[in-house]
Amino acid sequence: MRSGFRSLQLGKWIVFTILTCALTMTSLPSQVKAFTARNLIYGSEGYDVNELQGRLHLLGYYWGKNDGIFGWKTYWAVRTFQYNFGLPVTGDVDMATKQALVKATPNWNYHMDSNGGTNTVANQEGTNGGTNGLSPATVVAGDGFSHGSSGLSASDLNLMAHVVYGEARGEPFEGQVAIAAVILNRLHDPKFPKTIPAIVYAPGAFDCVNDGQINLQPNAEARRAVADAVAGWDPTHGALFYFNPAKTSNAWMWARPEIMTIGHHIFTD
């Protein structure tokens, strides 16, 4: 008799557990957000990366495959988003970046497709034809992301890193990216030579060539700055020249239209 009573109690407990789980599942919101508490960095994988890619795509920053893998395209898209939204530009997705993304894409939807991937719902166009009522993302670059397909060699990138380190070590990271961006802007301007070495070694073009600091070994930060500039980040908004006002008395440089100051350098048109 006691054994039968225990079996009855166990059966009731199992039924109660199943009903509780069923009620809990049906009460969950239909739009499940996959963002978790972990920071997302290059190499991260998972549904939260799917959400990251989907939200960035909705805003016009990411056009790669929504595969849940945090690769270079995702990294560069994150950096551009952070730059345009006034966040620290790191390429890592911390909670502040997640919150900004969620706020910028309130109507974003997440659901599994038949292939186990993710889709973002596309019926969120605003009155101006932009996604989610937003205008397409503004990529601050001389010519968008075209630098990434400009055919630069490893030697070109290495030479640019030497220039960045020789000209801007100790400057804020944005200022180092800016030096690399100026080199690329010259590469795409008809008034300048058509190769990186010709631009760098043009007479009087860079102080680091004149004083020999171009021969210093660049650090990882200088190389990252070059990579970001090649990816399309141009903090200078298309500048072709720059100078340090504390060290330059050249009247021609001072007379050029000033675009902005980053660190110790003034960038000009």
Q: Check whether 201 has a pLDDT greater than 70.
A: yes
- How far is residue 132's CA from residue 120's CA, in Å, rounded to a whole number? 11
pLDDT recorded at residue 19: 45
pLDDT recorded at residue 33: 52
**Residue 147 in contact with residue 184, Cβ under 8 Å?**
yes
DSSP-derived 3-state class of residue 118: strand
**Predicted confidence band of residue 137 (pLDDT cuts 50, 70, 90):** very low
**Predicted confidence band of residue 6 (pLDDT cuts 50, 70, 90):** low
**Residue 102 in contact with residue 96, Cβ under 8 Å?**
no
- How far is residue 16's CA from residue 5's CA, in Å, rounded to a whole number? 17
**Residue 182 in contact with residue 236, Cβ under 8 Å?**
yes
**Predicted confidence band of residue 1 (pLDDT cuts 50, 70, 90):** low
2-5 contact pairs (CB < 8 A, 24+): none
pLDDT recorded at residue 110: 64
